Amino acid sequence: MQIIFPTSAAPSINPAENGGRLINCYAEKAPDGSRNKFIIRRAPGLELAFAAGSGVPRGALVVGTTLYIVNGENVHTVTKAGDVYTVSAAFSGTVGGSGPVFMAHNMKSPTNDILITTSAGMHSLAGTTVSSFSDGDLPSPLHVTFQDGYFFFPTGFGLCYASGLNATTINSNDYTTAEAMPDGLVRAVPFRRDLFLMGGYSTELWSNVGNATGFPYDRGPVLPIGLFGIYAVAGFEPGFPGPLIWVGNTGKVYRLDGYSPTPISSPQLERLIAAITDRTTLKACVYMAAGHAFWSLSSPDWTWVYDLSTEQWHERATYGLAYWLGSFTINAFDEWLAFTPTGGGVYRVNERVRWEGALPLVAEVRSTQQHGFPARTAIDRASFDLIVGVGDDRGIDPIETDPQISISWSDNGGRTFGNPLLRSLGTQGEQVAIDIRRTGLTGPMGRQWKLQISDPVEFALIGGSMFGESRL
């Protein structure tokens, strides 16, 4: 009997219903002629790039070849030459408020204007100084963004203000109202050539028509889907190939196909979203690794990742946590950098790294539940088809010199798993068959297998088989 490993995460509210899980690993389409259609690989790790202050990162912005970071209340710049990062001292002045900040810059010559919006107001950056910023014609904005030479400032009352062209000045008449539905505004997102004004129940697309007075954009199509929370959208970031993906007001995740929102979430993920009580805790981000474009959605209790290459989902969880630490990312210096909500450094997303900083990157695969209902099966042997980056005789002993895989199984629908059995993945120059023998009789709900690899070696799971006899 073939052991079926999932291509997409499918946990359920009842373990007996689940369709398998992929945690810190993902399914990749196998080459033609391979033994299976999919190969399961370990997710990319996090490699420490540099430290920037001691606070919690709140936002970042790339301006030319310089990365600006708001860390706690301080602002730092980061540059890179070769493999060396240079982090500036903290700017004079501080960024108040709490929680994430939004940052944007225009194309003013010779020096761009840089604005920061926080829960406590707005700030501007000039040289190495942080200053408070205000304009009497601008009500308190939700955040700031930039497109086509204009800063845009949405407010919660459905208004969106525009600055002057490559300027920070605001005219009290230079605004529009997103009024297709009386749902206010949650977020303004520049994507392609449109400005997406995302409300609670609808999204309006505005495009630059060069209006000489008033708001420079005119309204185009209106989508009947709003935004679940202010941070629950990503895919518009520089360096990411798109598309725009967001959590809609319906509790589903949508991908923008042309001008049509296509739902891509599963019922399992939608149940998790429905349980969110504070919508500001739901955060989306994107990154690239190993030729894959990933869209990540995190709450304090879980992280799910959508692989645009395969249109499949997998889960992520940092060791000792229920969620993935890399919940905020940016493309800088031709690499994807991840900021953790706990601080402690800035990390590179790297598919060749099998750690998350100093923590192990534990890959876990749970099969679907194999059964011959109503019969039960006496399993004499189970074999697992893995292609393994075998141990390194000069690596860390023993996790790299003699790496191991942990194998356990459940006969009660995944409610509990037995004590794991450890099997060697092979020392340097050696590959071994991964077999488990005499595993007993399956339960009435069948059998579910769990494979875990924490040792820092590369692996590819092709599949597996069980051998046994049916018992009525």
Q: Are residues 20 and 55 in the same domain?
A: no
Q: Are residues 168 and 310 in the same domain?
A: yes
**Which residues in 316-472 belong to E strands, given as ranges?**
328-332, 335-339, 346-350, 355-356, 359-360, 363-366, 376-388, 404-410, 421-424, 434-441, 448-453, 459-471
Q: Are residues 68 and 193 in the same domain?
A: yes
- Report, as an integer, the average pLDDT of 425-438: 74
> What is residue 428's predicted lDDT score, i.e. its pLDDT?
56
Q: CB under 8 Å to 385, separation ≥6 — which residues?
A: 35, 36, 434, 461, 462, 463, 464, 465
Q: Are residues 126 and 148 in the same domain?
A: yes
Q: In 3D, which of 274, 238, 236 has the Cα closest to residue 253?
A: 274
Q: Give me the CATH number covering residue 31.
A: 2.60.120.260
- Report, as an integer, the average pLDDT of 441-457: 89
> What is residue 16's predicted lDDT score, i.e. its pLDDT?
65
340-371 per-position pLDDT tens digit = 988 879 999 999 999 999 999 999 999 998 87
Q: Are residues 405 and 465 in the same domain?
A: yes
Q: Are residues 151 and 27 in the same domain?
A: no
Q: CB-side exposure of 154: number of CA atoms within 13 Å? A: 22
Grade residue 141 by pLDDT with cuts at 50, 70 and 90.
very high
> What is residue 393's predicted lDDT score, i.e. its pLDDT?
47
- Report, as an integer, the average pLDDT of 428-434: 65
Residue 444 preceded by cis peptide, ω within 30:
no
Domain of residue 410: give its range: 2-43+364-471
157-194 per-position pLDDT tens digit = 889 999 999 999 999 899 999 888 888 899 999 999 99
CA distances from residue 69 to 102, 123, 231, 371 in whole angstroms, order as listed: 11, 14, 18, 53
Which of 306, 333, 357 finishes a domain? 357
Of all residues in the chain, the percent with pLDDT exceeding 90 is 72
Q: Are residues 416 and 460 in the same domain?
A: yes
Q: Are residues 372 and 405 in the same domain?
A: yes
Grade residue 229 by pLDDT with cuts at 50, 70 and 90.
very high
Give the count of domains, the chain: 2
The structure tokens 């450094």 sit at 345
For residue 31, pLDDT over 70 is answered with: yes
359 DSSP assignment: E
Q: Are residues 116 and 242 in the same domain?
A: yes
129-140 per-position pLDDT tens digit = 999 999 988 988
